[in-house]
Structure 1
């Protein structure tokens, strides 16, 4: 035994790690090579003896013949003192905790100590903002070596010399000598390149185990199934990462950094990285706090540069808007707490337990105006209970104060219980303030039910401006070389990207909401990882175009916009703001105005082939014009009965695309149906309302009799059909239904659940609905609770009566299936093996519960 060193890791509970001499003997030559140590080096001994890196600093230096320089306390008081000490002592190599270096990076002098050639960093993830600032000021003269390795595998397992272009997400590098690393899925099998999994470390550096904790040792130090060495073990780190194509390991975060917020899996490190990208922010930490039972929320903590004035500091609203541009809504913190400095542990890491609860200043509030009248006062009291805030102004937004879809359901239930008044969900979205709710209750505002004013606005929005006309003819389909794709950070869009790369030799430009192209690429990569298709993507043929569908000119500068008009040959518009609970007005900018901007781009300079992804939900029975089927030839002209705000916006957008055909633009409309997971490995979107409600069957153990009959079409086949149809000459200006023929009924879905270990009892629809609503009330943080509005009586989110004059007419996709089949794409419904793959995927990511 060489030493026992205690580490709390992510659990906070001390564990004595037993490191043997042979593990240290294996480490030291690797450090000599990684640092290039010689007898001429002077190495700073920085960390305390309670930190395992001390052993690496001390023994690594002395066994190489280099000089070990012991620091004093005075040199770490501030950055100036530290750099002066390094200069005076002739330091050539230093190993620093990342948290300490982050502070140095933002106060880096014009000239670093002359002898300094290498800084090794470890302890936690490197901050992108700090790296960018460092490289801008100092370049790459001094090597920044990013090290990774838990105490349990003897200090350091990998190392990587970070380059300036890697500042956004620094890799953790390649293996040191005699280290084996595996990236494994939940079943303990290696994942493909680019796919995220748990980092497990084997080889000569694996420690003996934990002192006097045999059970924990057995749990974390397991048999290495991939080694030929008898009794070889590997350590399960709990860290997440993936292999890059070049063989470099990329760190993603910890398993315990992945928290569940309102049923969504959230990676705190991802939010921290996006927040730290703002130039005013020095450090950022994000926690999931539950200061009030049942209301778990994200809270961001941040520090700023000392030289900034108060006027230059971003407020909570600006910080939130920055993150909203780059992250899904559920990953945007509800509070932003500014600190003078991050609290640190004795080892120089951020002390997350010492971070304070947010106060009112951390929230987005309007100038305070007290509630007026008894109704507003009662409503404000309900808001305070649910949101855990001290006071609520009559004009404060429910969402700005930390409200979300799960709390809305509780809010509306409490309002109905205490005031006896039922407020529709979409009505609340239109007026999410105490004053607005009071007006709804007192009858001073519209009820929020679909009405003539919404229908009138839909028709107005469906008009294409006269000046949008093709300025020149398009290139032939077979000559398309430059393609703009929207929605690549979504579900179908990810698979469209893969198919465009497979079936064309074109350059693909992806429109992505982000602060810069690097962040946009990370967002795209993250999405591809989620659906397990990163390894299929040729990133050399992809360009990130930072933009926003909801902004004029797509958020592009004039010159960039003009360049796109000149460069592009085709546009595939798959992007949209999808939320089946929000009203029309809140989605019209992205879904309608964004489509209008893209059509204008498709007309300018020369016509572009325009492929618009719509939905069969835009069709009404009246569109069948007396036929018994809604075929591809039916036009979506009767939108007055559409209920969902999202579908209403898609209806207006499709009408714009339809009109563009008359302006010389070759427009193809692809109306998708119920899109299911990938047919090969089952990866599916977790925020889909159908699967969100369907998962309640295994959760409850009950199923509504005769429900959930759906035609499910695998996403990869939908994408393949869209691209194949778009590439065939002579098929322009058509409307297609890339939907499987056949019917995946509820019985097949229930049978799949039972095959995969769930005991299911069928009950009436009313009983099942009541069980689900009761479950949501008791478990507001359940992933499906946000969809409770779909389970209100008669399935209407606002409680309105169903229009009995509207009778269902089935959608027909025979023509599309026949043509796609002739092009080599079979649109077939999900069969039993495919349904099994979906369920196993949902189980593997924790979306479905364990087996009964």
Structure 2
């Protein structure tokens, strides 16, 4: 019975128990006094689901055999067997069974009364010992246990289970071991009933799209979905979905018809899903980034008759024989349908969606989910996550991943706003942080690995964080649960996503646990479907509302995984076998322990390594393969593939990576590949996964032979590459970016180079020389001081070649331009400067403003422009009729407009304001050339076509190099920028070349004006600031850092409202044509003024020597990519650096160019347009905006801040 107890606790079939024996089987030792006890090792195999009587026979035989050999000393047995020794436990066995069967004899002594006392052992020799004593009334006993392994409640439970087991054996000794009772009745009730009491009300007769329609009726004008600068209200989204639904019904969509949807992230994605559901159908999401082979399999397996997509994706999709509907080009036809809610006849028993998950056989399997689970999920998510109509919910996951469903339903089922985000914006890091801050997101769902790279304290709007897909660490829970709701979610696709949502943390560390979600039941069962006791591992099973119908076209797999529920009287109730190993905790929560099979989850994606292995073995050179998850560094889970190639053929890792990348999604492509002569096997002939080696190479993308460093500089550089890229070997020809480097890692590399070589290498250097050899050569030239002149000469020749205007660009007709234009073209209208130029053009002219915008369609472009003006607090409804979007792209020939449209636009437009540019001071000229230089040439081409149109070109004051280079003390507006010197940064160079193109067009007769802007600051009245600006990041970053550098950074700063008013006013004067204008501040200001103001507001900021402050900046560059100062690292050189700093960020007033601005003064004569001083009042306006907008955390309350806020309230 004791062995049955151990078997039911551990599921191990070979049970070894030690037992002492008196060892007095020889007559000659009977009269001797001494200790002859030996220890027997009793090994019994319990496999085969025996009855108790059958097991009894086995134990009897084992015991007799052991007694026959009781003379063999235990110590000798250990010596012969040589088991692996560990001082923490006894060899061969850790559990003992002791039976005292000698009769107790009452001891009587003359004149004494004796009685026996029970003694308590304070130490345990083994992990667990059961002591039994035969008495006249029966057996009595006690457990000795190691308190490091067991607590008292566990042992008390074990005693109860032993009692239940003994009673069951006595009651029915023929019963199978698996069926013998273990739990007490009270325990069974607690586990099966009490801890599964999760019933809540939910809409049992409504589908999700009907819940969405109800929200649309309650709040039709509330924002439903946001993507980039586009948005739809609930009324607009419902109407569009209705039009699509009616259209789909006409082509045959009805209940149980599956419709594929393959679109990129967009508003159309949400319209498509709702339209399919409203038509009565079920949607099948297809990720357009998946390999063509995987998409082809899914389309073939599902046999969907209709596919929703876009014209752009049609040519990229695999061959498909069904009906294709393009949500962009076919929309004009779709929009003719009724906007009223359709009647589809769909019920909650009908199919809602089909999602494919990884399959162990090498092919994905489709999971069929009905509407019933969606209604329950919607209600549970809204209640548990505390979603309100004013909430803003991030839609992070791909539509083809089931985690996207809770995001969608809790937003659109509650009246909240769903924010989509572009793929670039959703990359964990600075891009995602920017999106979360700018959109003031309140609810996010992320995998823990993505959450771990974000700074929790910088998101004041965030109210709820939900993690799923993998277990969060206690430290992550503590970090993200301070002051907000933190939920650990769990649930397979087969249970309508969430089977558990547990609130945890509350600002402290806690272990992630699982508990049944609303109307769900969780059972931990052994292999015979018997509930296991608290603390005993078993397989987690799920029942309740929302279990999937099963797997498409896989009835055997469905029957194997979805089984009858033995704990429910409800007809048709089923259990889903999760394959997850789990155990109950004493408080009713459940702890997940891993997988029973090899299935894994990485970054929230459920992956069957078997599917990857099956694909790898399809490679003609691969004989065998095994894929596992390694976590060689805590928190860093990686897929690693081990392959055995054919010996006679060469297998390159690059080829293998490309091969698997064409067949599987990116998240299933192993991080590392290891080639082996043979896979290690265990004694049973199976692959010994524990014996697979740690990957000893990190050159998976490279096929070139390794070339070791040849010089000391190359050696040091290679070591830095290894540290930054976290690889194990780098050769001189290895490319930083091919080894996985990107812009964030580039900043870390530059920081390491500065620390090591005490000189500054720029991002431009790394782009131009990304190999160890190339970068080493540059460093050595810097160290020897012979780089600058050589490089300047090369650069000047390149830029001069690009500054030659296309000979075909010349005014076709030199008629007098219109003084009062009726149609104006503006580029860059969605940028900070462009938005305020647009506002001033609308204010100072009566013209219609045509705005060149990158967008998918006119409507999204219109929303983009409108939202931009709203965000900068300058939107008026009257503007809507005068703003006309033009879909185009500066980086493309003819601005990405057809020849016919280009000609029509050239005929219609009267004047052009060319403000558009890619502003990125850390990028090399080569990356910016297409937009900033070639884009300017295309604008000039448009200006010259049909009729000559004046061009007002927005340039930058940084086109002039510093005084130290040019030798000029004052630069006049008419001075030539082509003076043999070029700016340092790639952005300033692109403006330098573009301005020369504009000047060339002027020389050919085109009316042009050039406006060279100094650094733009916020609005002088509202305080609205450009969050991407250098000065903005410097201020916010120094506040977070708690320190500023000594010395002064002199800045020529002009408020945006002054700038836009001045440019538009000057541009309206015909006398301005042909001139350049410097828009500068008559009184450049030191950044010290900003920091003095911050101190007065109560921010604790200390001033440090520049080198010491730069050391802090260096640490940020190496370890904190989310810090506001991180992107500025390459723009803020160390003082001893020989590299030339960025034009706009030099740390000494001796290098500030003084720009004359007489033309600007003349152009503004007689107006009230003047540049406001950067004084205390203006700084108060700026900091009030930054604090109120959440960009800057409020300081400890100071008297000045209180006075300012009181004054603001009084003014209101």
| TM-score, structure 1 as length reference | 0.61
Selected match of 1:607 from 932, 948, 953: 948
Q: 1:634 to 1:846 in 2, by over 3 A?
A: same
Selected match of 1:541 from 861, 882, 895: 882
Q: Equivalents in 2 of 1:267, 1:740: separation in Å?
A: 33
Equivalence for 1:660: 1001
Q: Equivalents in 2 of 1:696, 1:266: separation in Å?
A: 14
Q: Equivalents in 1 of 2:493, 2:854: separation in Å?
A: 34
Equivalence for 2:1173: 829
Selected match of 2:1074 from 733, 736, 739: 733
- Pairwise CA distance, 1:508: 1.9
- Pairwise CA distance, 1:416: 6.8
Alignment of structure 1 residues 270-349 onto 2, 5 Å: 290=449, 344=493, 346-347=495-496
Q: Equivalents in 2 of 1:455, 1:692: separation in Å?
A: 31
Equivalence for 1:570: 911
Q: Equivalents in 1 of 2:1078, 2:795: separation in Å?
A: 27
Alignment of structure 1 residues 148-167 onto 2, 5 Å: none
Deviates more, 1:421-430 or 1:732-741: 421-430
Q: 1:134 to 1:747 in 2, by over 3 A?
A: same
Q: Equivalents in 2 of 1:610, 1:266: separation in Å?
A: 34
Q: 1:834 to 1:399 in 2, by over 3 A?
A: farther
Is 2:1157 aligned against 1:813? yes
Alpha-carbon contact 2:751-2:1114 (below 8 Å) kept? no
Q: 1:28 to 1:378 in 2, by over 3 A?
A: closer
| Partner SS, residue 640 of structure 1 | coil
- Pairwise CA distance, 1:499: 1.4
Selected match of 1:782 from 1109, 1123, 1139: 1123
Q: 1:556 to 1:448 in 2, by over 3 A?
A: farther
Deviations along 1:659-718, one digit per CA (max 9) or x if unpaired, are: 322211111111100100122322222222232223332122222334233232111221
Alpha-carbon contact 1:368-1:393 (below 8 Å) kept? no
- Pairwise CA distance, 1:97: 8.9
Q: 1:435 to 1:110 in 2, by over 3 A?
A: same
Is 2:653 aligned against 1:499? no
- Pairwise CA distance, 1:455: 1.4
Equivalence for 2:920: 579
Q: 1:448 to 1:34 in 2, by over 3 A?
A: same
- Pairwise CA distance, 1:608: 0.7
Equivalence for 2:265: none
- Pairwise CA distance, 1:380: 7.2
Higher-Rg structure is: 2
Selected match of 1:354 from 605, 610, 615: 605
Selected match of 1:431 from 743, 751, 769: 769
Alpha-carbon contact 2:1013-2:1079 (below 8 Å) kept? yes
| Partner SS, residue 1038 of structure 2 | helix
Q: Equivalents in 2 of 1:607, 1:750: separation in Å?
A: 49
Q: Equivalents in 1 of 2:1043, 2:1149: separation in Å?
A: 32
Q: Equivalents in 2 of 1:15, 1:591: separation in Å?
A: 64
| Partner SS, residue 456 of structure 1 | helix
Q: Equivalents in 1 of 2:286, 2:891: separation in Å?
A: 39
Selected match of 1:237 from 379, 391, 399: 391
Equivalence for 1:115: none
Q: 1:774 to 1:536 in 2, by over 3 A?
A: farther
Equivalence for 2:1186: 842
Q: 1:469 to 1:747 in 2, by over 3 A?
A: same
Alignment of structure 1 residues 61-460 onto 2, 5 Å: 78=258, 132=328, 141=337, 143=339, 237-239=391-393, 251-252=418-419, 261-262=429-430, 265-267=433-435, 290=449, 344=493, 346-347=495-496, 353-354=604-605, 361=661, 362=666, 368-374=703-709, 386-387=724-725, 398-399=736-737, 403-414=741-752, 423-433=761-771, 436-437=774-775, 440=778, 450-460=791-801
- Pairwise CA distance, 1:543: 2.7
Alpha-carbon contact 2:426-2:432 (below 8 Å) kept? no
Selected match of 2:1021 from 680, 683, 689: 680
Alpha-carbon contact 1:472-1:606 (below 8 Å) kept? yes
- Pairwise CA distance, 1:620: 4.4
Instruction: Please list every run of 5 or more consecutive structure 1 residues that lacks an aligned counterpart in the other structure.
Output: 1-13, 37-73, 81-90, 113-128, 147-206, 222-233, 242-247, 272-284, 297-341
Number of corresponding residues = 630
Q: Equivalents in 1 of 2:758, 2:210: separation in Å?
A: 73
Deviations along 1:740-793, one digit per CA (max 9) or x if unpaired, are: 333433343123313433123333333332333334434232122121122222
Greater RCO (Cα-Cα under 8 Å, separation 6 or more): 1
| Partner SS, residue 670 of structure 1 | strand
Alpha-carbon contact 1:474-1:609 (below 8 Å) kept? no
Alpha-carbon contact 2:1049-2:1149 (below 8 Å) kept? no
- Pairwise CA distance, 1:636: 1.9
Alpha-carbon contact 1:424-1:799 (below 8 Å) kept? no
Equivalence for 1:245: none
| TM-score, structure 2 as length reference | 0.44
| Partner SS, residue 681 of structure 1 | coil
Equivalence for 1:486: 827
Q: 1:447 to 1:586 in 2, by over 3 A?
A: farther
Q: Equivalents in 1 of 2:1046, 2:837: separation in Å?
A: 36
Q: Equivalents in 2 of 1:461, 1:31: separation in Å?
A: 57
Q: Equivalents in 1 of 2:773, 2:808: separation in Å?
A: 42
Alpha-carbon contact 1:623-1:638 (below 8 Å) kept? no
Deviations along 1:401-427, one digit per CA (max 9) or x if unpaired, are: 654333112223446778999744321
| Partner SS, residue 970 of structure 2 | coil
Selected match of 2:892 from 530, 535, 551: 551
| Partner SS, residue 695 of structure 1 | helix
- Pairwise CA distance, 1:454: 0.4
Q: Equivalents in 2 of 1:695, 1:546: separation in Å?
A: 35
Q: Equivalents in 1 of 2:815, 2:857: separation in Å?
A: 31
Alpha-carbon contact 2:428-2:451 (below 8 Å) kept? no
- Pairwise CA distance, 1:725: 0.9
Q: Equivalents in 1 of 2:1156, 2:1016: separation in Å?
A: 16
Equivalence for 1:720: 1061
Alpha-carbon contact 1:512-1:547 (below 8 Å) kept? yes
Q: Equivalents in 1 of 2:202, 2:446: separation in Å?
A: 36
Q: 1:771 to 1:415 in 2, by over 3 A?
A: closer
Deviations along 1:364-387, one digit per CA (max 9) or x if unpaired, are: 997743543347898677656545
Alpha-carbon contact 2:1099-2:1195 (below 8 Å) kept? yes
Alpha-carbon contact 1:619-1:638 (below 8 Å) kept? no
Instruction: Please list every run of 5 or more consecutive structure 2 residues that lacks an aligned counterpart in the other structure.
Output: 1-195, 219-253, 261-275, 288-297, 309-324, 343-378, 396-414, 456-490, 500-600, 608-636, 640-656, 672-699, 1197-1212
Q: 1:367 to 1:259 in 2, by over 3 A?
A: closer
Q: Equivalents in 1 of 2:759, 2:1077: separation in Å?
A: 45
Q: Equivalents in 2 of 1:592, 1:381: separation in Å?
A: 38
Q: 1:407 to 1:717 in 2, by over 3 A?
A: same
Q: Equivalents in 2 of 1:623, 1:584: separation in Å?
A: 22
| Partner SS, residue 543 of structure 1 | strand
Q: Equivalents in 1 of 2:392, 2:197: separation in Å?
A: 15
- Pairwise CA distance, 1:141: 4.0
Q: Give me the CA root mean square deviation.
A: 5.5
Alpha-carbon contact 1:737-1:816 (below 8 Å) kept? yes
Alpha-carbon contact 1:706-1:746 (below 8 Å) kept? no
Deviates more, 1:585-594 or 1:484-493: 585-594
| Partner SS, residue 511 of structure 1 | strand
